[in-house]
């Protein structure tokens, strides 16, 4: 697959992948907390689908499946306890480079938590994988009962440009931010139209997307030290000391855009929009702030000077940031050997880690999500 899209931007399917072998889900407790909190929303949606002979569910952008495993395990167990013994298919989707092997091993109890290995504990539950991005239709028309996605659809399908003097659109200059906003709006429409095609009439799509809330907060920017500014500072330091080239410095642009609530709701507010005409209706939309679990543990231990040392806190926080951000920086230096790249990346995250260890106050990664419950109306 070429890294270039037909539009000339960088095709993100070619370069994005979460770190595999269970690394991602083992180090993203915050994402797991957000998903577990959505359980009741999922169960309520499934209650409206009681007439379906079987249930087909899709988890879009699921990575190794570990962050949503507990939620799906609990949902399936509650359905079975209620007497609902219908066959259940769960399709996990992500990019072709995703670690699907770990995902399948987790669901069968061969890796990770055996308690939540629902295929091991329940009959008539079938798990499949799809290695294609969620910006397009992934299954047969009108075959999906419930679509679900968490902390995934902030990724744009095409990176319109490399952001000068920063790494993220949220902190970019006006021109760069506008380019990402335009791409994100097109992507959001295409995502919704793809789900509209897949969903059965009466089907639901629940999305827990990173976004900007009413107070202007977003992932890593909730009042403390700005996480993306730190990423840029330490990446720029490598450029300034000639460890990386100017080209490598500029290539480290996150293929992400954090939409605000108005941007999420726009396709539903216009009755003449393609999304509205496709039959999708927004039932609810709200923001949710989830505090960083690593900072919470540090505070519980007494904070600076408590039973958890500053270094121990840094050693818990930085891996969760690395689990999803590393691919951006490794891709930027992909022309180097694996060993050289790893040395640079390790040095980059160690610099961030050392800064947190020296003074942890304000360093955290709070999650900010926009939670949408979407229904496809009957024809």
Which of these, 22, 26, 203, 174, lies nearest to 99 by C-alpha position?
A: 22
DSSP string, 8-74: SSEEGGGT----TTTHHHHT-HHHHHHHHHTHHHHHHHHHTTTT-SSEEEEEET-TTSHHHHHHHHH
Burial (CB count <10 Å: 0-12, 13-18, 19+), residue 2? exposed
Q: Pick from 154, 132, 365: which is nearest to 254 by CA?
A: 154
Instruction: Name the one residue in this structure whose structure tokens are 């399917």.
Output: 13
Q: What is the pLDDT of residue 6?
A: 47
Calculate mean pLDDT across residues 291-309. Answer: 92
Whether pLDDT at 16 is above 50: no
Residue 360 structure tokens: 């942890």
Q: Which of 26-30, 56-60, 141-145, 324-328 has the lowest mean pLDDT?
A: 26-30
User: What is the pLDDT, as a whole number, of residue 319?
Assistant: 93
Whether pLDDT at 19 is above 50:
no
Is residue 12 over pLDDT 60? no
Show me where the domains of the chain are located. Answer: 10-225+254-292+364-376
* Tens digits of residue pLDDT in 90-146: 999 999 988 899 999 999 989 888 899 999 999 999 999 999 999 999 999 999 999
Predicted confidence (pLDDT) at residue 18 exceeds the cutoff of 50: no
The half-sphere exposure of 259 on its side-chain side, counting CA atoms within 13 A, is 30
Kindly indicate the confidence band of residue 9, based on its pLDDT and cuts at 50, 70 and 90: low
pLDDT at 232 over 60: yes
Q: Is the pLDDT of residue 33 over 50?
A: yes
* Distance, CA of 154 to CA of 231 (rounded, Å): 18
What is the per-residue pLDDT for 71?
95
Q: Tell me the CATH number for domain 10-225+254-292+364-376.
A: 3.40.50.150
Average pLDDT for the chain: 91
Dist CA 60 CA 68 (whole Å): 11
pLDDT-derived band at 262, boundaries 50, 70, 90:
very high
Q: How far apart are CA 77 and CA 82, in angstroms?
A: 9
% the chain with pLDDT above 70? 92
The pLDDT value given to residue 21: 42
Return the pLDDT at 25.
Answer: 47
The confidence band for 198, taking pLDDT boundaries of 50, 70 and 90, is very high
pLDDT per position as a tens digit, 47-94 = 999 888 899 999 999 988 989 999 999 999 999 999 999 999 999 999
- The rounded distance, in Å, linking the Cα atoms of 143 and 374 is 16
Residue 361 has pLDDT above 70, yes or no: yes
């Amino acid at each position: 697959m070429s890294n270039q899209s037909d539009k000339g931007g960088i095709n993100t399917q070619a370069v994005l992948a979460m770190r595999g072998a269970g690394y991602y889900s083992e180090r993203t407790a915050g994402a797991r907390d957000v998903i577990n909190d959505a359980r009741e929303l999922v169960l309520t949606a499934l209650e409206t689908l009681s007439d379906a002979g079987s249930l087909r569910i899709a988890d879009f952008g699921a990575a190794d499946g570990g962050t949503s495993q507990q939620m799906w395990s609990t949902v399936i167990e509650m359905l079975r306890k209620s007497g609902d013994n219908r066959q259940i298919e769960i399709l996990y989707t992500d990019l072709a480079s995703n670690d699907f092997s770990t995902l399948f091993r987790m669901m069968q109890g061969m890796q990770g938590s055996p308690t939540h290995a629902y295929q091991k504990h329940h009959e008539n539950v079938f798990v499949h994988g799809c290695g294609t991005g969620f910006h397009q239709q992934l299954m047969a028309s009108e075959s999906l009962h419930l679509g679900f996605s968490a902390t995934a659809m902030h990724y744009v399908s095409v990176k319109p440009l490399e952001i000068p003097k920063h790494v993220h659109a949220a902190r970019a200059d006006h021109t760069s931010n506008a380019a990402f906003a335009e791409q994100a709006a097109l992507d959001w429409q295409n995502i919704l139209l793809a789900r509209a095609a897949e969903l059965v009439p009466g089907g639901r799509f629940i999305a827990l997307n990173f976004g900007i809330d009413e107070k202007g907060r977003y992932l890593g920017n909730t009042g403390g030290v700005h996480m993306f500014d730190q990423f840029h500072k330490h990446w720029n330091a490598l450029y300034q000391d000639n460890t990386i080239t100017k080209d490598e410095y500029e290539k480290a642009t996150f293929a992400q855009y954090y939409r605000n609530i108005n941007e999420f709701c726009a396709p539903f507010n216009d009755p003449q929009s393609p999304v509205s005409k496709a039959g999708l209706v927004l039932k609810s939309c709200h923001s949710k702030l989830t505090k960083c679990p690593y900072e919470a543990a540090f505070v519980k231990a007494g904070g600076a000077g408590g039973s958890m040392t500053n270094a121990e806190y840094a050693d818990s926080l930085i891996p969760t940031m690395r689990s999803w951000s590393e691919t951006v920086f490794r891709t930027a230096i992909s022309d180097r050997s694996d060993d050289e790249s790893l040395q640079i990346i390790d040095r980059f995250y160690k610099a961030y880690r050392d800064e947190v260890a020296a003074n942890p106050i304000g360093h955290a990664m709070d999650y900010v999500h926009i939670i949408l419950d979407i229904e496809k109306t009957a024809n």
